[in-house]
Amino acid sequence: MGRVRAYIGLGANVGNTVDTLTAAVPALAALPRVRLVAVSRLYATVPVGVTDQPEFRNAAVVLDVPGGPDPVTGALALLIVLKGLERAFGRRDGPRWGPRALDLDLLVFGRHAIRAERPLEASSSDRARSGDTDWAGAQWLAVPHASAHERLFVLAPLADLAPGLRPPGWGESVATARKRAELREGPAAVRPIAEWDQATRAWEPQDPAAVVPDGSTGASSDKRTT
Ligand code: A4P
Ligand code: MG
């Protein structure tokens, strides 16, 4: 099927979150036949869902990945690798939406809308949740990610990378969805704190004075890695 643009959401709120996310970027780039295309800004974000937990750090990356023989197979192969990386970075059992060392969500896989049964290797280690009837959705890979459209902590970094992207089923662009989410959640919920620097391969703290009210930076910056 050729190559596909895959957008991955990164999140962490346990341990040294910035170090974890910074190390996760080259780990994603080093995956077989994967090319890292761009990295979003890093955001400090107020917890959503389970609110009584530490603040998160969130970001997103664009990867150029093998499409696989068909979209379902290609996306599942990528999900399995992402779940393996989560475990390698110390993710342990925990409640849905609870604290985690690293969360890697497959937000968008090209133009494909996918709903597929979950193979065992693709499940997270969060077995404690198997008795949770609300958790039935976890039996599936859903792409675009089921809650990406609603959440500013996903939409803000995604809008850094692809503001004009219209993921299948959304009926609007990422930039428009981000604006609506920001009206709902307020500008303080998701704050850009650093820009990816390809030279140092790390997020470098952002000058607060350079942030204009819509959350973007006044200066243009190229986050592309190639
Ligand atoms: N799954 C289905 N579709 C996907 C997909 N597109 N990408 C399945 C990744 N996984 C997908 O996910 C549970 C199961 O969903 C997986 O085993 C997989 O088979 P998970 O990552 O193990 O659990 P989760 O992250 O708790 O669930 P979910 O639904 O991905 O939640 P979210 O949306 O990731 O929410 N607040 C802030 N500020 N920042 C955050 O990053 N994250 C969460 C978790 C809650 N609040 C947060 C944040
Ligand atoms: Mg997740």
Q: Any idea what the CATH number is for the domain that residue 122 is in?
A: 3.30.70.560
Q: Are 34 and 92 in contact (CB under 8 A)?
A: no
In this predicted structure, which of 27-31, 65-69, 123-127 has the lowest mean pLDDT?
Answer: 123-127
Average pLDDT on 208-218 reads: 51
- Show the domain range for 47: 3-223
Comparing C-alpha atoms, which of 52, 35, 57 is closest to residue 156?
57
Comparing C-alpha atoms, which of 136, 144, 141, 158 is closest to residue 58?
158
In this predicted structure, which of 4-8, 86-90, 171-175, 191-195 has the lowest mean pLDDT?
Answer: 86-90
Cα 105 from Cα 154, distance rounded (Å): 10
| Torsions phi, psi for 89 (to 5 deg) | -90, 15
Active site residue 129: no
pTM of the model: 0.88
**Does 154 score more than 60 pLDDT?**
yes
**Does 46 score more than 80 pLDDT?**
yes
Query: How many structural domains compose the chain?
Result: 1
Q: Active site residue: 57, 100, 178, 191, which one? A: 100
**Does 35 score more than 70 pLDDT?**
yes
Ligand 1 pocket member 119 (CB < 6 A): no
Contacts 24+ apart (CB under 8 A), 49-56: 49/96, 49/97, 50/95, 50/97, 50/98, 53/13, 53/98, 53/99, 54/13, 54/14, 54/99, 55/13, 56/11, 56/12, 56/13, 56/17, 56/153
**Does 110 score more than 80 pLDDT?**
yes
Q: Are 41 and 160 in contact (CB under 8 A)?
A: yes
Ligand 1 pocket member 109 (CB < 6 A): no
Active site residue 91: yes
Query: Atom 46, ligand 1: which residue's CA is nearest?
Result: 48
Q: Active site residue: 103, 118, 160, 178, which one? A: 103
Ligand 1 pocket member 141 (CB < 6 A): yes
For 48-78, the pLDDT digits (tens) are: 998 888 999 999 999 999 999 999 999 999 9
Active site residue 111: no
Ligand 1 pocket member 96 (CB < 6 A): yes
- What is the overall mean pLDDT for the chain? 86
Active site residue 103: yes
Ligand 1 pocket member 11 (CB < 6 A): yes
